[in-house]
A and B are shown apart, each in its own frame.
Chain A
Amino acid sequence: MTPLIGVVVFPGSNCDRDAMEGVRALGGESTVLWHADATIKGVDAVIVPGGFAHGDYLRPGAIARFSPVMSAIADFAAEGGPVVGICNGFQVLTEAGLLPGALQKNRGLKFLCRTVTLRVDSTDSVLTSALDNGALLRIPINHFEGNYTCAPETLAALRADERVVVRYVGNPNGSMDDIAGICSEGRNVVGLMPHPERACDPLLGSTDGMPLLQSFLAAASGAGVSSRPG
């Protein structure tokens, strides 16, 4: 079956088209989920893309978490549905409480826009199931608030359950424990600051985002993660 991926669009989202193109390149189908609609239209998986939802006013994701579509996404995630938040989408998911912790300003107080190296540290998630542990990926980052932080007990739990799915090799932003991406307890919700959808075409300098999105499409088809019900 061809999985149908919903890509959320808030006012200020700017990576929604890239995400849809990445899905298309891998043989999936996608549809836009407008933030003000309280439904995810029966999609098989949801991408919360990058950008500046609601202008990042107050804090990135702080306003977006109250958009009507977020309640539908929370219900979908609670049932085991695959959800990935990329960059601003990761910030939205932490503000919404679907993932623990928060993203603060980069340590060097600079907006970072460059390609970094990530190491896959857990393959038990909807975004990494098609990869090998220790795999190195070249993926772009593009953020000001990407410096992951959380309470010490939260970090201990993330480490104990191997919920840090990707780490930076050469920490660019000060993230605690080099964290670039984490997953939920159910391993069906993943948030990461780097942009796999921008590394899906040789013209863009890397295709290392493809196995990540491929994992996600497999999860959307119901074949990705063993812990997903049904």
Chain B
Amino acid sequence: MGGACERARLPVVTFDVLVEVRLRPGIADPQGATIERSLTALGFVGVRDVRVGKAIRFTLDAPDEASARDQVTELCRRLLANPVMEDVDVTVAARSPATP
């Protein structure tokens, strides 16, 4: 089929992407502080450095991993995080090829 030929010419890999957005060090995190106090109040000893962030998951079709990472870096910069107060951790993992 034509579609199959197109795919054969331009191989595309599907990546599972996880973007974790968190407040930068030094930015007060009142949610994290409140949760930490609550955990301590419940008797969980030794809990420290609680930080609350966001996890954004999506799939991305790209020719290869380098291209996928470039795109994710750019979309984080333009939309997903505000660099004034947020950092991101990005995980990009190729899906194993579908069985024929």
Contact = CB atoms under 8 A, between A and B. Distances in A.
Given A58-B79, A58-B80, A62-B79, A149 B30 contact: no
A191 B39 CA distance: 38
Contacts, number: 34
A61 B80 CA distance: 12
A107 B28 contact: yes
Contacts of A62: 79, 82
A66 B78 CA distance: 10
Contacts of B23: 104
Interface in B27-85: 27-28, 30-31, 34, 79-80, 82, 84-85
Interface string A84-119: 000000000011000011101111110000000000
Contacts of A108: 30
A17 interface: no
Interface residues of A, number: 20
A83 to B, nearest CB: 20
B28 A151 contact: no
- Which of B23, B31, B79, B84 gathers the greatest number of chain A CB atoms within 10 Å? B84
Interface string A145-183: 001011100000000000000000000001000000000
A138 interface: no
Given A62-B82, A95-B82, A149-B84, A104 B28 contact: yes
Interface residues of B, number: 11
A171 B94 CA distance: 49
Nearest to B81: A59
A102 B28 contact: no
A106 B31 CA distance: 10
Contacts of A101: 84
B84 A102 contact: yes
Nearest to A154: B84
B27 A149 contact: yes
Contacts of A94: 84
A59 B82 contact: yes
Contacts of A95: 82
B83 to A, nearest CB: 9
A102 B31 contact: no
A100 B83 CA distance: 11
Contacts of A100: 84
A106 B28 CA distance: 10
B31 A109 contact: yes
A151 B82 contact: no
Contacts of B82: 59, 62, 95, 102
Contacts of B80: 58
A94 B83 CA distance: 11
Given A58-B79, A62-B79, A109 B84 contact: no
